[in-house]
Chains A and B, each alone.
Chain A
């Protein structure tokens, strides 16, 4: 069974500080991992996908298969980064995949 663990329900940092949102996964196959973000009063949207290896809004995430982690990082947090962040895993079962979400981390960036 696939599982996604986000150990922090809440994370609070000051503007300009580095931020790291933790995500660990459990999956026997080759995973596809994502970060979704939900800003206040907005719908969920895709932030990052591990396979694209890009930086979005200053955020990066590296898949570490040895530690089964996909932590989301940003060197200098901004107030507009305050949101709920969900880590998600897709089983690599071709196009019929299902997404499993973690329980989410609420990030608050204080001025």
Chain B
């Protein structure tokens, strides 16, 4: 049971490049979320999903896309990276009936 996994751990992008941050969980959790963590800003919700095929926007969705084709995977896409997207990104999941979120190890992204 690997829990929540994220790849890559580190990534450097140039402005305008696109990439996908991967997130997977093997706990059969219905709910999955993406957060960004910035100094002095705490954790802010980007997008979330309540089940396969269902996604919704969080607090800071601009510049990011998500999809949920399977229960296990919830990739986060940056279509045209900007320096303001330099951050640490965390994926999290939970069961529908539980309040406890399980977090991945994070992806540190730098956009130059």
Contacts and interface: CB of A to CB of B under 8 A. Distances in A.
Q: How large is the interface on A (under 10, 10 to 19, 20 to 34, 35 or more residues)?
A: 20 to 34
Contacts of A90: 99
Contacts of A32: 99
Q: How large is the interface on B (under 10, 10 to 19, 20 to 34, 35 or more residues)?
A: 20 to 34
B99 A102 contact: no
Interface in B17-72: 33, 35, 40-45, 48, 50, 58
Interface string B87-106: 00010100011011101111
Given A86-B42, A96-B50, A103-B40, A44 B90 contact: yes
B42 A97 contact: no
6 contacts: A43-B90, A43-B104, A46-B101, A98-B45, A101-B35, A104-B42
- 10 closest A-B pairs by CB: A103-B42, A101-B43, A44-B103, A43-B103, A101-B42, A95-B96, A46-B100, A43-B105, A104-B42, A102-B42
Contact of A34 (B50, B90, B99): B99
Nearest to A9: B40
A104 B37 CA distance: 10
A91 B100 CA distance: 14
